[in-house]
Amino acid sequence: MAETAELAPGLKGLTSDWGSDQRAFKNVPWGKAMMWIFLLSDTFIFSCFLVSYMTVRMSTTVEWPNPSEVFALQVFGVDVPLLLIAIMTFILITSSGTMAMAVKFGYEKNKKATFWLIMVTALFGAMFVGMQAFEWTKLIIDGVRPWGNPMGAPQFGSVFFMVTGFHGTHVSIGVIFLVIIAVKVRRGRFDDETPGFMTGRKGRYEIVETMGLYWHFVDLVWVFIFAFFYLW
């Protein structure tokens, strides 16, 4: 029976244990581990943005625009508050469900179901970006700019365009990568391990789960943006 080495007490023992232990990340794909690290760093960035928004919102002496009025959508001559935003949120949350199902069928090696679910997820993402572009266009027509805002506090435009634009960029990049992965799934690239961009181990669909982590993160961030910008 092998003897267990005694660990030094305190922080030194903890760092020594983690530094020498090969079991912590054993059999974990590097792509998945790196995605978690990326998402952690991205969490800090979005947190800084949202904290900055709260700081500006609470410190400004000029009245902040009413979200129910600014983001209202006119339907048959009637202004419906937050209608477009509600649809965008529903679409993005639904896409998390289709992405989770894609991961499930990917590990079951059901190429057809995985392909179509990833494509549906990408379609939902593209619809979200399109609606966001419509929302931006409407605000710009109404006179909102990063440096000014006729509806109230001038900081509204700069903070709104920065945060939603940064999130929209994440969604757009995600849509592109989803389409790439879907095409690879359909062509069987994960079954024969054909060398190329974003190809994992033979017979494994780990990249689908890795992309799923990214997509769920983007959806989660939107929940916070929705609460801060549209409900506050």
Q: Are 178 and 188 in contact (CB under 8 A)?
A: no
4 occurs within a structural domain: no
Residue among 106, 99, 171, 105 at smallest CA distance from 132: 171
1 occurs within a structural domain: no
The enclosing domain of 58 has a CATH number of 1.20.120.80
Give the position of tokens 């179901």.
113
CA–CA gap between residue 70 and residue 82 (Å, rounded): 9
Q: For the ranges 22-31, 133-142, 179-188, which has the lowest average pLDDT?
A: 22-31
SS3 205: coil
Q: Give the structural domain span for 208.
A: 26-230
CA distances, 186 to each of 103, 113, 142 (Å): 14, 10, 45
For the entire predicted model, the pTM comes to 0.82
59 occurs within a structural domain: yes
Residue 187 CB contacts under 8 Å (≥ 6 apart), including other chains: none
φ, ψ of residue 73 in degrees (nearest 5): -120, 130
For residue 2, pLDDT over 50 is answered with: no
14 occurs within a structural domain: no
16 occurs within a structural domain: no
Task: Express each pLDDT in 48-75 by its tens digit.
Answer: 999 999 998 888 888 888 888 888 887 8
217 occurs within a structural domain: yes
pLDDT at 74: 79
Task: Give how many domains the chain has, as a whole number.
Answer: 1
Number of neighbouring beta carbons within 10 Å of residue 117: 24
